[in-house]
Amino acid sequence: MVRNVTEAHQVLTIPLHAELDPGTLRAIFRQASRFISEQDLRTHFYT
């Protein structure tokens, strides 16, 4: 997903796979944490 906000180009990977490698999941988490606080993300990524 790509979003342009006030001249900034924001990219977030949204996988279509049911299972993800741990490294891929960590990379997506790091990417998302640029836009959303880690505290808010943790409930969706780690249970």
Show me where the domains of the chain are located.
2-45
Contacts of residue 27, Cβ cutoff 8 Å, sequence gap at least 6: 13
- For every residue of the chain, DSSP letters joined together read -EEEETTEEEE------SS--HHHHHHHHHHHTTTS-HHHHHHHH--
Rounded-to-integer distance, Cα 26 and Cα 20, Å: 10
Q: What percent of the chain has pLDDT over 90?
A: 9
* Residue 36 scores a pLDDT above 70: yes
Q: Residue 11 is encoded by which pair of tokens?
A: 């990219």
Q: What is the pLDDT of residue 8?
A: 74
Q: Is the pTM of this model over 0.85?
A: no
pLDDT digits (tens, 9 = 90+) for 2-23: 667 777 777 888 888 889 899 9
